[in-house]
Amino acid sequence: MATENKSGSMAVAFDEMNIPGGDLRPAYQELARWLKETPPEALEYRRQEAELLFRRIGITFAVYGDAEATERLIPFDVIPRIMSGSEWALLEKGLKQRVRALNMFLRDIYHGREVLRAEIVPDDLIFQNPVFRPEMNGQQVPHDVYVHIAGIDIVRIDANDFIVLEDNARTPSGVSYMLENREIMMRLFPDLFARHRVAPVERYPDELLSALRSVAPQGASGEPTVALLTPGVYNSAYYEHSFLADKLGIELVEGRDLIVKNNEVFMRTTEGVKRVDVIYRRVDDDFLDPLTFRPDSVLGVPGLMSAYAAGNITLANAVGTGIADDKAIYSYMPDIVKFYLGEEPILKNVPTWRCREPKDLAYVLDNLGELVVKEVHGSGGYGMLIGPAATKATIEAFREKLKREPEGFIAQPTLALSTCPTCTASGLAPRHVDLRPFVLTGSKTTTIVPGGLTRVALKEGSLVVNSSQGGGTKDTWILDE
């Protein structure tokens, strides 16, 4: 399957269903048969039904800076993305390894800093990084777990080539879509499920709750109280927060519902205050505690950080994890994995040029037209240059930005993300996809439910899968073989 991009160069993308020459990959054979039997109108009808369901359930997200549509649906594509059990097994092993290394790296950065002494990662990348939290230096976090919930963005470029595009170790979102997409697919296509053996994902809330309970501080009771801290109903991921709180059976709290007394955290209830042991927080570090971080934050809880320092509350994820998923650190991840685990990394990195290094910068400036350049601190696909798809003027403007502040950028080759069949206005067509599996780390175990969130770039040839920029989602099936 060839994808033509605007500059006219051809990138050959791996198609997950079709083998060049006309054969089908085994995981997709039953789906292909089913598609042949199903008239396009029936598919379109189901698509509309799915949209209606999403709207009625209220599975919406907010787009910031978009006054007209404060609540939008993420387009849902009804064609599932399918992976075989053996493909998943490889991926799972790689993900666990990666997250183990992330946790060890964080523990080290905020304690002994062996990784810096061994000169695996340069000092200034840590200490001059705004997401490094000096408040966490030497602080013990319960059970030494920093990243309880990780969302690792994976792209596939070949049959056995899974590559990590990005680690999300702060407050990764999207898991509600993994769960709701499955629910809706099972409602709409029961017979398609009957023809496959799809590994279930519905265990996720249970596993999340046990992971969160397992990391409660030592002083907590046998039945630790867990709460989910949300910035509130105007946050773009609010639906997910309320969805998860509901599935976990825990209180959905806002900053104003919590108070800190004698370095202990309580929530205000109709029966007086009640002690909280673990906070699954979906509020960024900066807004957590106005006494420690941004004083203007009204989303946080004054005194939360001192309760944290006193060891009376577990925050999941821990404060300061941003230093591990920073794009500048990303390029060192293969070395970080080797350093802590003494193993070869199972999942590869995208080759990355660090613009802070003069040799790399020179190369990047010479090849802007072919590269993807990302802001080190950007997210959500904003502030990034996709060379092959950009106009001359955009490239030149970016060149100036790069020269002014090279340390703020990294560059990567344009990857030919794999494609999956997707419903489009002109019938089924291949569209580029990525995958975000969710890795849970408790005090003793690391678990991953088989699947994740598949995001799909709905525009032909587009490589941008972010929901804020026209991406959609698919249900992700791992076949139980």
Map tokens 């989303």 to a residue.
299
Helices 175-188 and 40-57: crossing angle, nearest 10°? Answer: 130
| 319 belongs to the binding site for another protein (CB under 8 A) | no
Residue 24 or 259 with smaller CB distance to another protein: 259
User: Shortest Cβ distance from residue 260 to another protein (Å)?
Assistant: 16
Tokens (6 digits) for 382: 């904003």
Residue 56 or 359 with smaller CB distance to another protein: 56
91-99, 253-261, 275-283, 412-420 -> range binding another protein (CB under 8 A): 253-261
7-15, 131-139, 243-251, 412-420 -> range binding another protein (CB under 8 A): 243-251
Residue 161 or 246 with smaller CB distance to another protein: 246
Residue 54 or 293 with smaller CB distance to another protein: 54
Q: Give CA–CA dist 243/238, Å, rounded.
A: 8
| 251 belongs to the binding site for another protein (CB under 8 A) | yes
Among 31, 184, 252, 324, binds another protein (CB under 8 A): 252
User: Shortest Cβ distance from residue 276 to another protein (Å)?
Assistant: 11
| 242 belongs to the binding site for another protein (CB under 8 A) | yes
Map tokens 């007209």 to a residue.
68
Q: Give CA–CA dist 331/335, Å, rounded.
A: 9
Among 50, 152, 226, 245, binds another protein (CB under 8 A): 245
Residue 70 or 367 with smaller CB distance to another protein: 70
Site map for another protein, 28-67, x if CB under 8 A?
A: ---------------------------xx-x---------
User: Shortest Cβ distance from residue 259 to another protein (Å)?
Assistant: 11
Burial of 205 (0-12, 13-18, 19+ CB in 10 A): buried
Q: Give CA–CA dist 53/43, Å, rounded.
A: 15
Residue 121 CA: distances (Å) to CA of 31, 106, 127, 165, 295: 46, 13, 11, 19, 32
Residue 251 or 375 with smaller CB distance to another protein: 251
Residue 56 or 404 with smaller CB distance to another protein: 56
| 253 belongs to the binding site for another protein (CB under 8 A) | yes
88-96, 100-108, 240-248, 397-405 -> range binding another protein (CB under 8 A): 240-248
| 238 belongs to the binding site for another protein (CB under 8 A) | yes
User: Shortest Cβ distance from residue 215 to another protein (Å)?
Assistant: 22
Please count the helices (runs of H) and the strands (runs of E) in the chain.
16, 23
Tokens (6 digits) for 223: 């039945």
| 470 belongs to the binding site for another protein (CB under 8 A) | no
Distant-in-sequence contacts of 243-250, Cβ < 8 A, 24+ apart = 243/59, 243/176, 243/179, 243/180, 244/175, 244/176, 244/205, 244/208, 244/280, 247/179, 247/205, 248/205, 248/208, 248/209, 248/212, 249/209, 250/209, 250/225, 250/226, 250/280
Residue 51 or 375 with smaller CB distance to another protein: 51
Q: Give CA–CA dist 374/363, Å, rounded.
A: 15
Q: Find the binding residues for another protein in span 270-309 (CB under 8 A).
A: 270-271
Q: Give CA–CA dist 317/315, Å, rounded.
A: 6
| 329 belongs to the binding site for another protein (CB under 8 A) | no
The residues near 268 (Cβ < 8 Å, ≥ 6 apart) are 257, 258, 259
Q: Among residues 324, 353, 327, which one has the least CA distance to residue 336?
A: 324
8 Å CB contact between 431 and 424? yes
Residue 245 or 390 with smaller CB distance to another protein: 245
Q: Give CA–CA dist 30/36, Å, rounded.
A: 10
Residue 12 CA: distances (Å) to CA of 2, 155, 419, 434: 5, 14, 10, 16
| 261 belongs to the binding site for another protein (CB under 8 A) | no
Burial of 23 (0-12, 13-18, 19+ CB in 10 A): exposed
20-28, 268-276, 338-346, 404-412 -> range binding another protein (CB under 8 A): 268-276
Q: Total number of residues binding another protein (CB under 8 A)?
A: 21
| 403 belongs to the binding site for another protein (CB under 8 A) | no
User: Shortest Cβ distance from residue 249 to another protein (Å)?
Assistant: 9
Map tokens 């060149």 to a residue.
399
Q: Find the binding residues for another protein in span 194-233 (CB under 8 A).
A: 232-233
User: Shortest Cβ distance from residue 228 to another protein (Å)?
Assistant: 9
Among 203, 256, 444, 459, binds another protein (CB under 8 A): 256
User: Shortest Cβ distance from residue 180 to another protein (Å)?
Assistant: 13
Among 44, 66, 246, 396, binds another protein (CB under 8 A): 246
User: Shortest Cβ distance from residue 227 to another protein (Å)?
Assistant: 9
Fill in the amino acid letter for 55: R
| 267 belongs to the binding site for another protein (CB under 8 A) | yes
Residue 108 or 254 with smaller CB distance to another protein: 254
Question: CB-side exposure of 149: number of CA atoms within 13 Å?
Answer: 22
Residue 451 zone, left/alpha/beta (φ > 0; ψ -120 to 50; rest): left
- Residues binding another protein (CB under 8 A): 55-56, 58, 232-233, 238, 242-243, 245-246, 251-254, 256-257, 267-271
